[in-house]
């Protein structure tokens, strides 16, 4: 019977048709992790570490989990909140998230205490890919986007690929994951406080890396302006790139269409769901948000 061969049947399948549904499209599950710690890293961001099931630990860089957040008040909190994986610690069977407390969901996440259960659905979506011929990559992240860039940088370093990480933030205290990126490559911090985060300056840095042949591929998340900059430079210099998009979501698995955005391929505009056709997309196909 087709249904027993694969654990997750999210490919179109008509019961009784006898048609094999093929490999699972979303090998995801709902699981409970145990909170190990949930500490503040600065006044806006927290770092959540939980234990994880084998399926959750199969998460790839750029994929995300939909987290059931405790209510921070007396009201109900209906929808899960998407969070990218920040660090995959397979040796200790743990997953890590770096999240900004912005609203009720993330303020609810901030109440997670060690020992408590954390209900997650995932891994979800399509993550980053690393081309086998890439020897040097540039990752560019801003704000919460920095969390998303952690695992692809780690994967690159594990494969002997050199990483240059450009970390953009409002102020020095908000440059997160500095330690993680420093371990895997060169870190360039650009800040609003001293004006170095200006697009023109980031452009100069990227052009220097291109001239030094240190940019075989671009990866970015967290800023529309920086995404457009990488897209332009990528097009001019024929450098492939990927962007992880953050979009307000509801179901996180495909049916509700809340997360639809416009993309462009060969001059044709099309709508795609960020949760299931992304959140990682080809840089040249993105039209921003």
Ligand X SMILES: Cc1cc2nc3c(=O)[nH]c(=O)nc-3n(C[C@H](O)[C@H](O)[C@H](O)COP(=O)(O)OP(=O)(O)OC[C@H]3O[C@@H](n4cnc5c(N)ncnc54)[C@H](O)[C@@H]3O)c2cc1C
Chain positions contacting ligand FES, by CB under 6 A: 249-252, 254-259, 273, 275
H helices present in the chain, as ranges: 2-5, 54-57, 104-109, 145-158, 178-184, 199-211, 224-237, 274-277
Minimum Å distance from CB 252 to ligand X? 8
Q: Residue 250 binds which one of ligand FES, ligand X, none, with CB within 5 to 8 A depending on kind? A: ligand FES
Partner from ligand FES, ligand X, none binding residue 144, C-beta < 5-8 Å depending on class: ligand X
Closest approach, Cβ 204 to ligand X, in A, equals 28
126 binds, among ligand X, ligand FES, none (CB under 5 to 8 A by kind): none
104 binds, among ligand FES, ligand X, none (CB under 5 to 8 A by kind): ligand X
Q: Whole-angstrom Cα distance, residue 218 to residue 129? A: 11
Q: Of the two residues 198 and 258, which places its CB atom closer to ligand FES in the complex? A: 258
- DSSP, collapsed to helix, strand or coil, labels residue 68 as coil
CB of 235 or CB of 257, closer to ligand X:
257
Residues 6 or more apart whose Cβ sits within 8 Å of residue 213: 136
In the complex with ligand X, which residue's Cβ is closer, 9 or 77? Answer: 77
* Residue 99 interacting partner from ligand X, ligand FES, none (CB closer than 5 to 8 Å by kind): ligand X
Helix 224-237 vs helix 199-211: angle between axes, to the nearest 10 degrees?
30
Residue 83 or 223 having the CB closest to ligand X: 83
| Residue among 143 and 252 whose Cβ is closer to ligand FES | 252
> Cα separation of 245 and 286, whole Å?
9
Nearer to ligand X, 83 or 153 (CB): 83
- Min dist CB 203 to ligand X, Å, is 25
Residue 237: helix, strand or coil by DSSP? helix
Residue 189 binds: one of ligand X, ligand FES, none (C-beta under 5 to 8 A by kind)? none
Tokens at 268, concatenated: 């044709």
Q: Among all residues, whose Cβ is closest to ligand X?
A: 103
- The first and second tokens of residue 78, run together, are 């209906």
| CA–CA distance, 5 with 23 (Å, rounded to integer) | 9
Gap between the Cα atoms of 81 and 171, Å rounded: 26
Q: How many residues does the chain have?
A: 289
């Amino acid at each position: 019977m087709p249904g027993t061969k694969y654990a997750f049947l999210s490919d179109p399948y008509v019961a009784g048709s006898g048609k094999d549904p093929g490999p699972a499209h979303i090998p995801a599950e709902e699981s409970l992790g145990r909170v190990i710690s949930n500490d503040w890293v600065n006044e806006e961001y927290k770092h959540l570490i939980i234990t994880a099931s084998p399926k959750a630990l199969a998460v790839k860089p750029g994929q995300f989990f939909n987290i059931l957040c405790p209510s921070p008040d007396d009201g109900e909190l209906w929808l899960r909140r998407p969070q990218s994986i920040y660090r995959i610690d397979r040796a200790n069977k743990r997953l890590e998230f770096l999240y900004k407390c912005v609203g009720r969901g993330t303020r609810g996440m901030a109440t997670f205490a060690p020992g408590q259960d954390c209900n997650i659905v995932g891994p979800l979506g399509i993550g980053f890919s690393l081309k086998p011929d890439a020897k040097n990559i540039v990752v560019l992240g801003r704000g919460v986007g920095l969390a998303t860039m952690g695992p692809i940088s780690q994967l690159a370093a594990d494969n002997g690929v050199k990483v240059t990480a450009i970390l953009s933030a409002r102020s020095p205290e908000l440059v997160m994951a500095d330690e993680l990126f420093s371990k895997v490559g060169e870190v360039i911090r650009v800040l609003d406080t001293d004006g170095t985060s200006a697009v023109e300056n980031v452009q100069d840095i990227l052009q220097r890396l291109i001239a030094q042949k240190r940019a075989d591929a671009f990866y970015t998340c967290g800023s529309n302006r920086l995404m457009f900059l990488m897209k332009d430079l990528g097009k001019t210099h024929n450098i492939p790139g990927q962007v992880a998009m953050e979009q307000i979501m509801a179901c996180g698995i495909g049916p509700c269409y809340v997360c639809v955005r416009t993309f462009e391929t060969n001059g044709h505009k099309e709508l795609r769901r960020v949760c299931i056709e992304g959140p990682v997309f080809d840089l040249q196909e993105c039209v921003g948000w």
